[in-house]
Chains A and B, each alone.
Chain A
């Protein structure tokens, strides 16, 4: 494991290699953790996320490139242009292993290139190349041109589309064209640096400190996951959209911008239907689950469409949330987002926000440059996506994100912006689940499930129910509407997600098939790979350190708990008619109660939600104390 950190100063073209500090690895494990610490060190309070000084970090997981199960992932970290806060976003594909085989574990970009460039990593040779000819191209065309230019079709690319170039607040960074580091606008940060792409070819090797020990624990974990026949089959056969039907029956599948939570023909968005009619499975590096899809449309108005996906989020966000269950239309919308380089969650949120404004007369057809924004109008959805990425007409306004767009529109449009802290909520209705509600509110990047997905609350097997009870100490843990036990539930999931992200393991690994990959065997894999001793408890403590450091980043910006730990207004002020017969299930008071219990659990101040100096010392985060206390 002798990878390096590559520091690239885009302003002067300087490229510097540094070894990965073992102490940093010991304290932060890798990927998300090391990125979080680097971001802390390289960022000052108030820094403009789109300024040249803002850093953009790519961190491969500590186990990426090995056969540890589902281990090929990478974390992208920066300050979010959507929220102005901490952003980490995680991406699969094969880019992380390729980087490792080339000899690099971390890429740190700072500065701004004088004209568009791309970074070409050809094993030991690293060069910045002219990308003026690539600027303006979609991700598919840019990927093709790079492979032609360099003469190797097995290069892996990490790149942005027109949305990133145009600084769209929800522009994503795409790996291998279709895999997104989606949330929070990291693509705009890349665009602001005039960095179109990173192309990687790695023909080298990754080694581990203790091959025999590593083999034993990693292959045992692979076999354990494969032995969970039920989970494996559902994932391989139907992908992430296996959850659509359950969400719809539960009344939590967002319909018309979360106005309610059920559609009549949800089956058309289901993994069962999509996989039968349109898509085959695909996988990221070393995956056991194979939940990825690759869809093709062979007939009808969208014939010729092809793209990876659609995932649950894409189907729900661009489908039911925008009032349509036209499967092919949604796949087409997903293709557009992928090649334009936009997060499908936020893109769908902006479309459905505009549609609700249109429904209530806050936007007219004239405002929409002639588009009919009636619910479910697929043609309008497709045109609007294109206009957002290119910042044309109404699209220019929407490209700033729903918080900013609602402020501009005014007249109560804020109520239709289902966002908190500037990030649009992912396509899960938290009014039906108290642990999701708490986790979304606490998420440092904004309300979504990809930092902390508390699936244990669903308790879909006796073993998961036992785990939920063990974590929380109460049988109420699996009662979705009870706040009881939820703070512990959230804390446990936050920590295990942090550790999986550090190792480069997919977050689904420990929540689709609970207990088979856990703190203990993740710690054992890390120890065998790096030669740094680590126990399960220590790994969990490091998870807590990372969660706390991420919060410190946001506190350093001067925000209070009332500004940080919030949910979209609609979630706490309007009941959903499809949940519990329209009864109010989530209120601000209920959320605040859980938050206070959570602060106490974390040994943060129960009123301000700020970690005390003692807590910082306990977690080895003393270095941050002055900056955070000084910001208050």
Chain B
């Protein structure tokens, strides 16, 4: 989970996702002025039967397989650490989509799509701003592990002392 130069990161916490898909609606709209679950850079996978939801989006991997596999060198990293595409070099071979271990790159009806953390809009990610459930958060990277550790620690303490939990 690489960070931008200010030490901020887009953290993904699927446990908190309620499947409302607001992220996808906001994403498709701020980038392309349309609404569509399949027209978004972030997509929410939903298992209706079991009530499971997870937002899927590019994590800007440190050692990004998509960058490595691209035969024309069309994928690279910008100054903020975002994996970006050079449209002129891209030949549309789909190798990046086939390789991405997260399934976060798509060639859909809207063309090539991948999260750029709203860098192209010159701001912090919209999806995190409107994710009221807190599943997508734009926050200082140094706090992510600490917050998770705190949750785990509290759960353990509470399970040791039944009835004493906060």
Contacts and interface: CB of A to CB of B under 8 A. Distances in A.
Contact of B130 (A67, A97, A281): A67
A306 B109 contact: no
A622 interface: no
A225 to B, nearest CB: 9
A299 interface: no
Contacts of A143: 48-49
Interface stretch (A202-210, A267-275, A478-486, A496-504): A202-210
A182 interface: no
Interface in B103-149: 108-110, 130, 132-133
A16 interface: no
Contacts of A280: 51
Interface stretch (A257-265, A285-293, A371-379, A460-468): A285-293
A367 interface: no
Contact of B34 (A205, A226, A285, A287): A205
Contact of A283 (B19, B35, B109, B110): B19
A177 interface: yes
Nearest to A296: B51
Contacts of B28: 205
Nearest to B20: A283
Contacts of B36: 65, 101, 202-206
Contacts of A282: 18-19, 51, 53
Given A207-B34, A211-B29, A281-B133, A67 B22 contact: yes
B33 A286 contact: no
Interface in B41-96: 45-51, 53
Contacts of B130: 67, 219, 222
A351 B37 CA distance: 41
Contact of A205 (B35, B48, B50, B51): B35
Contacts of A178: 48, 51
B97 interface: no
B158 to A, nearest CB: 11
B26 interface: yes
Contact of A154 (B34, B45, B50, B133): B45
B129 to A, nearest CB: 9
B38 A211 contact: no
A285 B133 contact: no
A306 B37 CA distance: 26
B29 A67 contact: yes
Nearest to B110: A205
**Most A Cβ at <10 Å: residue of B36, B50, B110:** B36
A204 B29 contact: no
Contacts of B35: 65-67, 97, 101, 205-208
Contact of B26 (A67, A208, A292): A67
B10 interface: no
Contacts of A153: 47
A308 interface: yes
A184 B47 CA distance: 28
B159 to A, nearest CB: 13
A436 interface: no
A580 interface: no
Interface in A510-529: none
A530 interface: no
Contact of B48 (A67, A176, A236): A176
A294 B21 CA distance: 17
A476 interface: no
Interface in A396-427: none
B25 interface: yes
A219 B47 CA distance: 28
**Most B Cβ at <10 Å: residue of A215, A286, A288:** A286
A287 B20 contact: yes
A206 B48 contact: no
Contacts of A284: 20
A247 to B, nearest CB: 25
Given A94-B46, A204-B36, A211-B33, A281 B21 contact: no
A286 B22 contact: yes
Contacts of B109: 203-204
Nearest to A306: B50
B21 A140 contact: no
**Most B Cβ at <10 Å: residue of A93, A101, A306:** A101
A156 interface: yes
A411 to B, nearest CB: 44
Given A94-B46, A286-B20, A290-B133, A101 B38 contact: yes
Contact of A306 (B19, B38, B51, B133): B51
**Most A Cβ at <10 Å: residue of B20, B37, B109:** B20
B41 to A, nearest CB: 14
Interface string A98-112: 100100000000000
Interface string A51-70: 00000000000000111000
Interface of A: 65-67, 93-94, 97-98, 101, 140, 143-144, 153-154, 156-157, 176-178, 202-208, 211, 215, 219, 222, 226, 232, 236, 280-288, 290, 292, 294, 306, 308
Interface of B: 18-22, 25-26, 28-29, 33-39, 45-51, 53, 108-110, 130, 132-133
For the complex of A and B, the 10 pairs showing the least CB-CB separation, nearest first, are A294-B51, A283-B20, A283-B18, A205-B34, A203-B38, A205-B36, A176-B48, A67-B25, A206-B35, A290-B18
25 contacts: A65-B36, A66-B29, A67-B35, A67-B130, A101-B36, A143-B49, A153-B47, A156-B48, A204-B39, A204-B109, A215-B29, A222-B130, A232-B132, A282-B18, A282-B51, A283-B18, A283-B20, A285-B20, A285-B25, A287-B18, A287-B20, A290-B20, A294-B51, A306-B50, A308-B51
